[in-house]
């Protein structure tokens, strides 16, 4: 099996950083291009850190050749400052990265979206995520994997008050998330990273969407 070249954006975030570490440890990965706005504090083995202005991403398309493109970009409206800035990160940058993947004939594109993503939603956050997913599926990329986690558990660099409270409570309520409610169960960032690392190395053409419970199953699979 040919070792894969990976391009990942969003590697400074909670899930992205964990995923970068896992990919760097994989014997099936040949090289990694980690695209960031600021230099990584620690550059893992076989990783090249490409620092760019995301608003000029297309100018670097020629440098971003890889078999698998992975996008872990994501913010909140509060952190971004307003809806326009949020849309720029969670829609514009994600779609631009996917278009570069298409342009460079990538085999696979993975993205971290969110539970509730719906292009027809009246909720701006959910609608933006849904519109992003819909746009990705229009591209000519053989395989697209969309991960829709519920509340993500883990230690973030940027503190989010509501999520801090929820993270303390959620694990104690896991017994409530059974049957049809399993997809709403909070999930650890380490498990999302594990699931994405595993499926990034597999090949199965088509479009796939994974809810929290399915992500958990992928992470736990032998």
Sequential DSSP letters for the chain = -PPEEEEEE-TTSHHHHHHHHHHHH-TTEEEEEEEESS--SS--TTEEEEE--GGGGGGGGGG---SEEEE-----HHHHSSHHHHHIIIIIIHHHHHHHHHHTT-SEEEEE--TT--TT-SSHHHHHHHHHHHHHHTS--SEEEEEE-SSEES--SS--HHHHHHHHHGGGGGGG--GGGGGGS-EEHHHHHHHHHHHHT----EEEEEEHHHHHHHHH--
pLDDT at 165 over 70: no
The whole-number pLDDT of residue 93 equals 98
The string of pLDDT tens digits covering residues 178-206 is 666 676 688 999 999 999 999 999 999 99
The string of pLDDT tens digits covering residues 94-144 is 999 999 999 999 999 999 999 999 999 999 999 999 999 999 999 999 999
The count of structural domains within the chain is 1
Three-state secondary structure readout of 145-172? EEEECCCEECCCCCCCHHHHHHHHHHHH
What is the span of the domain harbouring residue 152?
Answer: 4-220
Angle separating helix axes 94-103 and 124-137, nearest 10 degrees: 10
The CATH number for 174's domain is 3.40.50.720
Mind telling me the catalytic residues? 125, 129
pLDDT at 6 over 60: yes
| Burial per residue of 183-206, b for 16 or more beta-carbon CB atoms within 10 angstroms, e otherwise | bebbbbbbbbbbbbbebbbeeeee
pTM score: 0.90
Task: Give the pLDDT mean for 136-160.
Answer: 87
The whole-number pLDDT of residue 174 equals 60
pLDDT at 160 over 60: no
Q: Are 191 and 208 in contact (CB under 8 A)?
A: no
């Amino acid at each position: 099996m040919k070792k894969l070249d990976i391009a990942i954006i969003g590697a400074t975030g909670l899930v992205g950083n964990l995923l970068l570490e896992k990919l760097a440890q994989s014997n099936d990965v040949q090289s990694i291009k980690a695209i960031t706005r600021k230099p990584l504090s620690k550059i893992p083995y076989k990783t090249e850190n490409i620092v760019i202005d995301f608003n000029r991403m297309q100018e670097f398309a020629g440098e971003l050749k890889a078999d698998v493109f992975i996008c872990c970009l994501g913010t909140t409206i509060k952190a971004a400052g307003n809806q326009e800035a949020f849309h720029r990160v969670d829609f514009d940058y994600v779609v631009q990265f996917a278009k570069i993947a298409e342009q460079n004939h990538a085999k696979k594109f993975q993205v971290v979206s969110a539970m509730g993503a719906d292009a027809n939603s009246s909720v701006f956050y959910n609608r933006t995520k849904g519109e992003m997913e819909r746009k990705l599926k229009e591209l000519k990329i053989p395989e697209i994997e969309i991960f829709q986690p519920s509340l993500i558990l883990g230690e973030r660099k940027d503190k989010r008050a509501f999520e801090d409270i929820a993270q303390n409570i959620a694990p104690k309520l896991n017994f409530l998330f059974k049957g049809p409610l399993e997809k709403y169960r909070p999930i650890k960032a380490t498990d999302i990273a594990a699931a994405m690392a595993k499926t990034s190395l597999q090949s199965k053409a088509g479009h796939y969407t994974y809810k929290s419970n399915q992500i958990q199953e992928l992470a736990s699979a032998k």
